């Protein structure tokens, strides 16, 4: 059984063009900004991407900063959040980040995944996106275009995980506590539409 507390998940997408980037203001319905604070609610702070809890996850207090709440997701109970609203990341840079408090870190051969954030639409190459712990390490993936960090997360401590994709440079990067864990350059652009989100 694995338990993990998640304090918040934030998703930011930036539209890109040949002349530069344009940030879309938080709270717009274009998929630009999503914030789950988990203050006794699975709702998006900006109101566009509310989540539905599956298998009754619970909220615990305090969160990583000694205040507020975190959501506790238990692997053995198949607990997660589902967000049915379409989130468009087509031709956009993005950042997904979360504060995590893993109670147990698992590893297996060939690997054990603890999914933190994911969007899927099809089994087509590059249409999956995940941010997770794989054998306890930060891991970001666009179906077969994966990047992992070298640092194993620690049990019973708050830690920060982030995964970024830069559309202009086709670079994926994972971060552990604000430090670059690893990055890769893709040889083509990730062009995808995504429908379902799991935490």
How far apart CA 26 and CA 22 sit, in angstroms, is 12
pTM, whole model, 2 decimals? 0.78
The number of folded domains in the chain is 1
| CATH number assigned to the domain comprising residue 155 | 2.60.120
- The per-residue pLDDT for range 18-71, each reduced to its tens digit, is 344 444 444 454 445 888 888 899 998 888 889 999 999 999 888 878 888 888
Domain range enclosing 139: 3-198
DSSP 102-128: ES-----SS--EEEEEEEES-SSTT--
If one compares 115 and 8, the residue with the highest pLDDT of the two is 115
Binned at pLDDT 50, 70 and 90, residue 196 comes out as very low
Percentage with pLDDT > 70 across the chain: 69
Q: Which tokens sit at 182? A: 């690893």
């Amino acid at each position: 059984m694995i338990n993990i507390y998640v304090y918040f998940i934030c998703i930011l997408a930036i539209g890109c063009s040949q002349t530069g980037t344009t940030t879309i203001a938080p709270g717009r319905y274009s998929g630009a900004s999503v914030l789950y604070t988990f203050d006794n609610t699975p709702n998006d702070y900006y109101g566009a991407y509310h989540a539905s809890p599956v298998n009754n996850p619970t909220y615990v207090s305090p969160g990583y900063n000694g205040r507020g709440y975190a959501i506790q997701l238990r692997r053995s109970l198949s607990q997660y959040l589902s967000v049915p609203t379409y989130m468009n990341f087509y031709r956009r840079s993005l950042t997904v980040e979360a504060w995590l408090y893993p109670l147990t870190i698992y590893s297996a051969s060939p690997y054990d995944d603890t999914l933190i954030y994911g969007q899927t639409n099809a089994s087509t190459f590059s249409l999956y996106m995940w941010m997770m712990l794989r054998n306890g390490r930060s891991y970001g993936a666009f179906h077969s275009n994966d990047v992992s960090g070298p640092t194993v997360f620690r049990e019973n401590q708050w830690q920060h995980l982030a995964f970024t994709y830069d559309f202009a440079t086709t670079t994926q990067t994972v971060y552990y506590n604000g430090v670059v864990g690893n990055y890769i350059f893709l040889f083509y652009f990730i062009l995808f539409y995504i429908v379902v989100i799991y935490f």
